[in-house]
Amino acid sequence: MQTGDAMTEVVGAEPHGGVLANLLVDADRGEELRARATAWPSWRLTARQLCDLELLSGGGFSPLRTFLGRTDYLAVCTSMRLADGTLWPVPVTLDVPAKIPATLGPDGVLALRDRDGALLGVLQVTEVYRPDLRDEAAWVFGTLDPAHPGVDHLLRHTHPVYVTGRLELLRAPVHDDFQQLRHSPRDLRVEFERRGWTSVVAFNTRNPMHRAHQEVTLRALDETGANLLIHPIVGITRPGDIDAATRVRCYQSVLPSYPHGRVMLSLLPLAMRMAGPREALWHAIIRKNYGITHFIVGRDHAGPTDVTGRPFYGLYDAQELVRSHAAELGVGVVAVPQLVYVHDLGKYLPEDEVPAGARTVIVSGTEIRRRLKDGDELPEWFTPAAVGAILRRSVF
């Protein structure tokens, strides 16, 4: 086993959206690993690590085939690229307590298990290194403010040692809910082909869909002529967000409002970092692996606020970053303007098209949560009636 600055190669890197990584072993190899794993030290993966493992397993994180080694990790932090130059803006690492590497035997194998202790895979550890977590926070999040949820997790909840090596998986993490809505990248590509969809625009969200979201997605359909993939994140989102099960029911309730045959709902088991512009670019790369051709980038995409409510990132910084890499990535960017509801006209308009003096309201997921908490009305111009009813029943 190597430690320190040795690099773990990202084997078989390919263009985003090309040949997908597949880390799942065949049945014979799986039986062999199960039999041998009883003699290997184990690590029970955290909720975040389970999300990362699931996306590694099916190619959602292609070209990654394992967690980042030190050289790739530093390249990603400082340049948003792997050491070979491939665009990749957010570190995907496996953090463990310092005592774990000391338990490894001569073969350096670590059994990876879920929260119940079931074996998911094994890591042939080839590298152990200690990251500077404050430097990582400054590079990736652009701040050390603990009010930033990504910084808080990194500095308060991340183990001090990162490990990597050859990863072999017996299976991906299992979900008992909404199984018909959970698709691997290959599943979605096959489904798009079955439907004859050659152009697909993806919509990312971690909130229930409100009227402004619907307006954004309908505008994207018109602008691109593509079909719509509603692809909400149901792994780990920001603390305080509405739970995933409630949100999924909300998404299902709005599907009939879209043109027949042009919309599909699928769930993304991603652990968000809330890294603003970097995260938006990461989301676009991941969706390219799922087979989409266009990606909707919202205002302040994946951007949290500080204790005063001030955003950590500029309103349109994420759009500018993704647009600057769109040609390299091969994804069309649908940049969403600030939409506001104009009471006098009874419709949504981009902020710069609002008549002077008109009464307007900005609709957001934050405002939905505030209205629910305060018991305020959820009018239909703000939230579809079906969504409002689900939220009232499920949240409060």
Between vectors from CA 126 to CA 48 and to CA 117, what angle results, nearest 5°? 40
Tell me if residue 177 falls in helix, strand or coil: coil
Close Cβ partners of 233 (under 8 Å, ≥ 6 residues apart): 204, 205, 206, 268, 270, 272
Instruction: Retrieve residue 202's tokens.
Output: 């993806």
User: CB of 222 within 8 A of CB of 181?
Assistant: no
Distance CA 212, CA 229 (A): 17
Taking a C-beta distance cutoff of 8 angstroms, is the pair 182, 266 a contact? yes
Q: Write down the catalytic residue from 205, 217, 227, 383.
A: 205
Tell me whether residue 227 is one of the annotated catalytic residues: no
* 237 catalytically annotated: no
Alpha-helix runs per DSSP H in 197-316: 211-224, 244-254, 277-289
Q: How far apart are CA 60 and CA 17, in angstroms?
A: 9
CB atoms inside a 10 Å sphere around CB 254? 22
Tally: H helices and E strands in the chain: 14, 14
The rounded distance, in Å, linking the Cα atoms of 33 and 310 is 50
Cis-peptide, bond into residue 232, ω within 30° of zero: no
Residue 57: which residues within 8 A CB-CB, separation 6 or more? Answer: 22, 23, 24, 121, 169, 171, 172
Kindly report the backbone phi and psi dihedral angles of residue 23, in degrees, each rounded to the nearest multiple of 5, phi listed first. -100, 0
Q: Are strands 227-230 and 200-203 parallel, antiparallel or unpaired?
A: parallel
Catalytic entry in 71, 164, 207, 383: 207
Q: Are strands 42-44 and 227-230 parallel, antiparallel or unpaired?
A: unpaired
Find the catalytic residue in 206, 247, 273, 287: 206
DSSP 300-319: TTT--B-TTS-BSS-TTHHH
Q: Is 206 a catalytic residue?
A: yes
3-state helix, strand, coil in the chain (%, to 5): 35, 20, 45
Q: Which residues are catalytic?
A: 205-207
